[in-house]
Structure 1
Amino acid sequence: MAGGRIRDEDVALVRERTDIVDVISEQVTLRGGGGRNLKGLCPFHDEKTPSFTVAADRNVYFCHGCGKGGDAINFVMEIDHLRFTEAVEKLAARAGLQLRYVEGTAAPGSPRPQPGQRQRLVAAHVAAAKFYAEQLMTPGARAAREFLAQRGFDRDAATAYGCGFAPDSWDALTKHLRQLGFTPEELNTGGLAKPARSGSLIDRFRRRLVWPIRDTGGDVIGFGARKLFEDDDGPKYLNTPETPLYKKSTVLYGIDLAKREIGKRGQAVIVEGYTDVMACHLAGVPTAVATCGTAFGSEHISVLRRMLMDTDTFKGEIIFTFDGDAAGQKAALRAFADDQRFVGQTFIAVGPDGMDPCELRLARGDASVRDMIASRERLVSFALRTKLTEYDLDSPEGRIGGLRATAPLVAQIKDRSLRPEYGRILAGWLGTDVETVQQAVAAATKGERIETATRPRTRPDDPQLLVEREALKLAIQAPVLAGPLFDNAEADCYTDPLHVQVRQAIHAAGGASRGVAGANWIAAVTGQCDDLMAQSLVAQLAVEEFRYDGEADPHYVHVTVARLQLAQVDRRVHAVKSRLQRINPVTQKDEYFGLFNDLVSMETTARALREQASTGLL
């Protein structure tokens, strides 16, 4: 700025008229810290426990973590990277005060002092936002109005969110702002205009629907512009470039409107676009914000943490609403990695049929948007399920691959106390035992190779193996008695590889229904065994006593086969339940209810078999 300093009495008046709690609350959620002071997470360094203290009665702050402190002027200088004069000018404008400058401090012949750069750039953006909003009502902006109307936004909504239109002109905004006294350097520095090849200055946005982007304090700091015409060869969305005001890694669209509700509800909803923010707010989800032309990153997290008061005492929710497609899933996995950088509970909400909030509101109404947010799923669960979709979990190879891919994700969970629980959930989805998953997670935590070799059952007292052995024994020793009941029990009722071979040999020999007890039948079954161990097992079963006092009878056959089939049905029930847990009932409704009906049928069958197998004969 030009020379000259603000009068001391005016600086004192700015301090007196500025409520430091109001100023800091635009950046940090403050809560009672004991006594008269308020506490929050420091905006100047990362911390988990609040050490940033505001003494409201003395209008000062201090951070016990990084040592920064002072009054409202110091805070604005630090948070907005302003010089002293610029910070005073910003707070004066906020309080509606007219500043006076000390005469004679400027060089002879120099112009009268002007506001600092930031305030000049903000003023230019405010004027640009008003210009664009006025242009939205002109005949040339018909496509912009139709775009909004087709997405369910009327004139009141457009006005509330400051929607505007950049006209079909190379320099309409530039000329307008120049007439208001803004210099070419200010327009170029602020990203409102850019140099043309001819050397003249032209508008950055042209023939586009425009949204003003504001910071947490409500100052307009940039714009987002959406393409409307096919012959526009620019990107679909065009944003203000990096400027002294606009830092895309920290900017969140809608934060000025959402900040109070974020702090009040302890929740922030991250959506993907400007219309999604509008749709959420209008549908009753006022905590929605969106990134502007960049991925959600660590600096965005820092902004939200201060709003959420995200600490071990005050836990907030971050809810992502990525699309259900591959790109959205990739974004969710990336967010999972960032999630480890802060304490808050992180969720994801996916709309039915992969619809974003704007599409969902238009198709099914406001309540459906609220329902989508309410049906959120923990991001850890979503990340695990998303990874598992890459594998065929109905095959042993797929389950092993899925475990190797997801165990490292569980190992990454920052809160170690949560790892065992997610290990149990993962075991259910994979259809494997918890111990195997926990061992894989432990190996991943240490950076070791995950060994997941499956060992066959070898315990002779395993109840399942005893039932399988008894059924085979009946078919070999008493085929006439075992008959069709045995033959109707499918091969996958058996879990031991040797038992499966003998069951297949019996089938190849004609089945128990066609067998006649005796040496010829045993020889026929043995002849169908290619494996020497299977042949040996047939010989053992041919002479082994039944696990039943007395001669085998039809009732014993019914109980044995019922127990054999019950174990098979229970395994299928477990597998279907595992699949149901991995399916989102909102986005995969048909598959979910199809499996649910299968589950009901299988559980009915299981109850009937359980009644048949309930007698204690084995």
Structure 2
Amino acid sequence: MAGRIRETSIAAVRDKVRIDDVVSQYVTLKRAGGGSLKGLCPFHDEKSPSFNVNPGRGFFHCFGCGEGGDAISFLMKIDALSFAEAVERLAEKVSIPLEREDGDGAPERPKGPQRSRLLEAHRVAQEWYADQLMAPGSDAVVARRFLAERGFDQASAEHFGLGYAPRGGEDLYRHLRQKGFSIEEMTVGGLVAVGRSPYDKFRGRLLWPIREPGGDTIGFGARRLHDDDRIEAKYLNTAETPIYKKSQVLYGIDLARRDIGRSSQAVIVEGYTDVMACHLAGITTAVATCGTAFGDDHARVLRRFLADHEEFRGEVIFTFDGDAAGQKAALRAFEGDQNFVSQTYVAVEPTGKDPCDLRMAEGDGAVRELVAKRIPLYRFVLTNILEQYDLDRADGRVDALREAARLVSSVRDKAKVDAFARELAQMIGIDPDEARAEVRRAAARGPQPSRDARRRNPREEAPEPPRRPTGPDPRDPRFSLERETLKILLQHPMVVGRTTGELGPEDFTHPLYRGLWEVMAGLGGPLAGSTDEHWASHVGQAAGSPEAVALVAALSVEPLPIAREPDGPYLAQHALRLLELTAARRIADVKSKLQRTNPVDNVEEYNRMFGELAALEQHRRSLRDRLAAAL
């Protein structure tokens, strides 16, 4: 068995990997000043960004939930990887060969196939399926015809990675066996099933690879093509696996994520061909769920790329059919509207065509126009409710108001309720105060979820509150000077000067701050970091405890309270103030002892302490003079 990864290899991975490249596969990051980037935390739900990444120092830290660390720990947390798996994935990303210790004494790996092996099996399968789709003389001609009839050529198929599973039943199984994959890796990953003998899960079907934001294939969507297919379902999707969770995956997110971040717009369609049609028509922010309704987990994934927070609002556009099923889907989307800070819209084609059908019938321009003519989601939903009543009759208006008010009152974002109530009054033709009063009455009666809502969520659980940040409170004024000094020493060690060399552990009163100073001293002191490009990362590696590692991450990304780059005098001011505070504490301690000492009975001790007090007072005056000169 291969041994543990050598520390030199781990250090090489840490030095070469850019943490912003890793994190941006999962989160849209925007510049936040001071060399830091900011986005919505992927580890807890939030509406104002508190997740910071500092590429220069290789750390991330969330000031909301307290998660922090380097690129390795980020991957471990976000993808539930072991330390070794995270290092292996990053090493592959930056093309660093890993050296290992002897196998004896190596830690036992978790049971089941490694995530990296499951991803590799899917990569090999996707490439093989793609080859089968274009193979001349194969039964894939049916799949190619299906695509051509919908306006998708070979270039389109290659762009989206489409493939075809031969009808034989064991073709992929034999190919993967030849490539060295075990039957366990194939079955756990959902590529092969076992009956009397192993057989391919997708047979005789057109395949869409479903990928993570970073581009790794984790599953497939398979479309029925042949009348004699024993599985009647039109679409067959990968079942839940260790790498595929249908409630958290979005088809097309790998292609759309960058444009979603750039434009702060996301278009949610209903199928794989709709995503293709939108992208080919120029709507490159389109994504779709994979065999399930759009839910809260999908919204959380999308918000990270949308940069959907209170400081900057974008838009989320749903496309639905105009039929009853589409209206039902719109109602579900409205119930989840409060998941987004961004404005939510709906784009419905009047004749009921989905984006793929619309592109086939009227071309790319019609798809772009569909999205451009979007209307607010709440207006679409309320219109559908009001259309069920005769608004020319008084009793019809009363019933319509009562039904619509119940829906408006269910919105958790109370800032939207009044606006919806005014819109509702205008749509019915009544006084806004009357609509507001009915909404208040509906709220007092309490929520009355539909049968579908109860079935989907029998009891709404309160969200788990984010964990409090570990370590000292950054707002505690008692330790603010210590915190600011350590931030400078971590972020800008090149400004270290002679004054810094006078500092010692006794100048830091908080145990974690003192411990961090001692870690830096153990690495040669802050001066050793003045030419070390990865100084903060090396301090983090040497920090030891999880609390200390989290503190290094926090101090490495936390902005300094100045607009310019700190210089030597700026750091000297902090160091001199710390030294003065230490001198003041020692003066107070000596004075207290003097008060408790009898000058007659303990003349020698009293005189020694009196002389020490005089020297400390002189030292403090000297520090004050130096501080005045540094200002």
TM-score, reference length from structure 1: 0.69
Q: Kindly indicate whether the alpha-carbon contact (under 8 Å) linking 1:4 and 1:106 is maintained by their aligned counterparts in 2.
A: yes
1:123 is matched with which residue: 120, 123, 129?
120
> Which residues of 2 match residues 145-164 of structure 1 at below 5 A?
145-164=144-163
Partners in 1 of 2:178 and 2:446 — Cα distance?
A: 68
Q: In 2 relative to 1, CA 36–116 (structure 1 residues): closer, same or farther, beyond 3 Å?
A: farther
Q: Which residue of 1 aligns with 2:225?
A: 228
Corresponding residue SS for 2:164: strand
Q: Deviations over 1:185-207 (max 9, x none)?
A: 000000000111xx321100000
Correspondence 1:41-190 to 2 at 5 A: 41-105=40-104, 117-138=114-135, 139-190=138-189
1:46-101 CA-partner distances (Å, limit 9, x unpaired): 11111111111101111111111111000001000000011111111111222222
CA offset at residue 310 of structure 1?
1.0
User: 1:279: Cα distance to partner?
Assistant: 0.5
Unpaired segments of 5 or more residues in structure 2? 449-631
- Secondary structure, aligned partner of 2:102: coil
**1:146 is matched by which residue type in structure 2?**
R
Which amino acid is the alignment partner of residue 200 of structure 1? S
Shift of 1:382: 1.0
What is the aligned partner in structure 1 of residue 546 from structure 2?
none
RMSD of equivalent CA atoms = 2.2
Which of 302, 305, 322 in structure 1 is aligned with 2:300? 302
**CA distance in structure 1 between the aligned counterparts of 2:79 and 2:249, rounded to whole angstroms:** 13
Of 365-374 and 224-233, deviating more is: 224-233
Aligned 8 A contact 1:40 1:53 in 2: yes
Task: State whether residues 3 and 113 of structure 1, in contact with CA within 8 Å, keep that contact through their aligned partners in structure 2.
Answer: no
Per the TM alignment, residue 415 of structure 1 is displaced from its structure 2 partner at its CA by 3.9
For 1:333-352, list aligned pairs within 5 A.
Answer: 333-352=331-350
Higher-Rg member (1/2): 1
Alpha-carbon distance in structure 1 between the residues aligned to 2:404 and 2:167: 52
The 8 Å contact of residues 314 and 343 in structure 2, kept in 1 or not, is answered as yes
Larger relative contact order (C-alpha < 8 A, sep ≥ 6)? 2
The counterpart of 1:388, out of the listed 386, 389, 393, is 386
Counterpart amino acid of residue 262 in structure 1: I
Conservation of the 8 A alpha-carbon contact between 1:5 and 1:105: no
Single out whichever of 90-99 and 128-137 deviates more from structure 2.
90-99
Q: How far apart in 1 are the matches of 2:433 and 2:105?
A: 78
Q: Helix, strand or coil: the match of 1:319?
A: strand
Which amino acid is 1:74 matched to?
A: S
Cα displacement (A) at 1:170? 1.3
1:312 to 310, 313, 316: 310
Asked whether the 8 Å contact 1:443–1:449 carries over to 2, the reply is no
**What's the secondary structure of 1:32's corresponding residue?**
strand
Residue segments in structure 1 that go unaligned for 5+ positions in a row: 451-618
Report the alpha carbon displacement of residue 3 of structure 1 after superposing the two structures with TM: 4.8
SS of 1:381 mapped into structure 2: helix
Letter paired with 2:154: R
**2:39 matched to 1:40?**
yes
Counterpart of 2:398 (choices 386, 397, 400) is 400
How much does 1:445 deviate? 2.3
Compare 116-125 and 235-244 and name the one that shifted more.
116-125
Identity %: 55
Structure 1 pair 165–448 and aligned structure 2 pair: CA distance change class (3 A): closer
Alignment equivalent of 1:371, drawn from 369, 372, 393? 369
* Correspondences of 1:406-417 after superposition (within 5 Å): 406-417=404-415
Superposed displacement of residue 433, structure 1: 2.7
The range that moved more, 72-81 or 89-98, is: 89-98
Matches within 5 A, 1:577-596: none
Alpha-carbon separation, structure 2, partners of 1:174 and 1:7: 35
- List aligned pairs for 1:439-454, cutoff 5 A: 439-447=437-445
SS at match of 2:208: strand
Q: Spell out, residue by residue over 1:404-441, the C-alpha distance to the aligned partner (whole angstroms, 9 max, x if none).
A: 11012222334434333332322232233323212211
Contact map agreement 2:406 2:447 (CA 8 A) in 1: no
Aligned counterparts of 2:12 and 2:416: Cα–Cα separation in 1? 53
Higher mean C-alpha deviation, range 270-279 or range 406-415: 406-415
Q: 1:200 to 1:330 in 2, by over 3 A?
A: same
Amino acid in structure 2 at the alignment position of 1:153: F
* Residue 115 of structure 1: how far off its partner (Å): 12
TM alignment of 1:540-559, pairs within 5 A: none
